[in-house]
């Protein structure tokens, strides 16, 4: 089984026990390693604060962070060629594209349909 890049939509579905939360939780547990941009922490913490819920650091302890040592100009351009995404969604797919260079078969886990379409267009298993 390959590793997976996880987007905030998937994590927040589990955190807030949304209708797809059990399926998402099962899917995430299938991967040996979850990775994400550290933007994920900001998105999760903002959503928790909006709802008045405390942030529990253990929530993200299984996620390994992608910290590119360079700007992601090339990856951002490639994502935008595949389809338009807003800033945070664009950054997540670009970060996954960067990571995929050294992680063949990297899956992309998101509940956002536009992000799914663009990531699939770039060759990510969804």
Predicted confidence (pLDDT) per residue in 35-45, tens digit? 999 999 999 99
CA distance 44 to 59: 9
CATH architecture of the domain with residue range 4-121: 3-Layer(aba) Sandwich (3.40)
Going by C-beta distance under 8 Å and a sequence separation of 6 or more, which residues neighbour residue 30?
1
In this prediction, residue 67 carries a pLDDT of: 94
Please write the tens of the pLDDT for every residue from 8-34.
999 999 999 999 899 999 999 999 999
- Would you state the structure tokens that stand for residue 99, as one six-digit string? 């990571």
Question: Which residue, among 93, 98, 94, 97, has the nearest Cα to 112 in the 3D structure?
Answer: 93
- pTM value is 0.93
SS3 content of the chain, % helix, strand, coil (to 5): 50, 10, 35
Please write the tens of the pLDDT for every residue from 79-120.
999 999 999 999 999 999 999 999 989 999 999 999 999 999
Residue found by looking up tokens 């939360």 in the block:
21
CB 50 within 8 A of CB 83: no
In this prediction, residue 64 carries a pLDDT of: 96
CA distance 5 to 44: 15
Average pLDDT over residues 65-83: 97
């Amino acid at each position: 089984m390959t590793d997976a890049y996880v987007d905030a939509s998937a994590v927040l579905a589990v955190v807030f026990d949304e209708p797809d939360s059990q399926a998402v939780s099962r899917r995430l547990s299938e991967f040996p390693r979850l990775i994400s941009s550290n933007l994920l922490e900001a998105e999760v913490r903002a959503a928790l604060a909006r709802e008045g819920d405390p942030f529990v650091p253990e929530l993200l302890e299984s996620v390994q962070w992608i910290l590119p040592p360079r700007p992601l100009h090339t990856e951002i351009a490639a994502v935008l060629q595949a389809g338009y995404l807003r800033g945070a969604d664009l950054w997540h797919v670009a970060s996954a594209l960067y990571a995929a260079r050294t992680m063949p078969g990297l899956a992309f886990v998101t509940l956002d349909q536009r992000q799914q379409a663009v990531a699939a267009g770039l060759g990510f298993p969804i």
